[in-house]
Structure 1
Amino acid sequence: MSVNASRAYLQAAQAAQKSLSIGDNDDGLIEGAGGFSDMLSSAVSKAGQAGMTAENAISTAAMGNADLVDVVTAVAAAEATLETVVAVRDEVIKAYQEILRMPI
């Protein structure tokens, strides 16, 4: 694990936030009311932060400056976050496939 991995987490979170913010706001939603895109953006950002926290804990432990319990806790939190992201992705794909199967 390296600092490059933590940079990749950050870049992925930034790219996801950029892709969510692209587009016109002609969807009829009230500005600032929150919505699915805000929730998704927040979740992606938190997932990236969890990964970066785990990477930083691992780097600190490799230098001998961190407690092993802190490292294991950070890695477990990052793993749980990743599993949640994958589960949400799977449900979104299922919903999309269900929409595709609907008769016109």
Structure 2
Amino acid sequence: MSTPSVANNAYQMAANLARKTASPEDTMPSTTGVDFGQMVQQAVESVVDKGRGMDDKSIGLVEGRTDVVDVVTAVAETEVALETMVSVRDRVISAYEEIMRMPI
């Protein structure tokens, strides 16, 4: 997997997330969807899994089982996933701070 495809995957995930948050049915309370805690947990588990995959490929490189290109790709994918997670965290904190500044 090359770097452009990693960027394309990240862009598609961000576009899907934006579409989900912009849909009108999300403005109404829903009892049938995945709750926010589960969504965050799945996202964190995904980032952790990518990190473990990167570790496995790095160890494989040291042992001679993995190609350098695979390791670099795994590192890039993990970096994109982690940056996305940090960006989402920053947006959630910003939204929380904005809500806390609202007058009652």
Q: Which residues of 2 match residues 13-92 of structure 1 at below 5 A?
A: 30=31, 33-92=33-92
In the TM superposition, what is the alpha-carbon distance from 1:65 to its structure 2 partner? 1.2
The two structures have a TM-score, normalised by structure 1, of 0.67
What's the CA shift for 1:100? 1.2
Structure 1 unaligned blocks of 5 or more: 1-28
1:43-92 Cα distance to aligned partner (Å, 9 max, x none): 01000000110011101101111111110111100000000010001001
Question: How far has the Cα of 1:33 moved from its partner?
Answer: 3.4
TM-score, normalised by the number of residues in structure 2: 0.67
Q: What secondary structure is seen at the aligned counterpart in 2 of 1:56?
A: helix
Identity %: 44
- Give distance in 2, aligned partners of 1:33 and 1:98: 25
Quote the Cα distance in structure 1 between the aligned partners of 2:33 and 2:80: 28
Structure 2 segments unaligned to the other structure (5+ residues): 1-29
Match of 2:102 in 1: 102
Moved over 4 A (4+): none
Determine which structure has the larger helix proportion and give its number: 2
Provide the rounded CA distance (Å) in 2 between the counterparts of 1:96 and 1:39.
Answer: 17
Aligned residue for 1:77, secondary structure, equals helix
**Corresponding letter in the other structure for 1:93:** I
In the aligned structure 1, how far is the partner of 2:99 from the partner of 2:33? 26
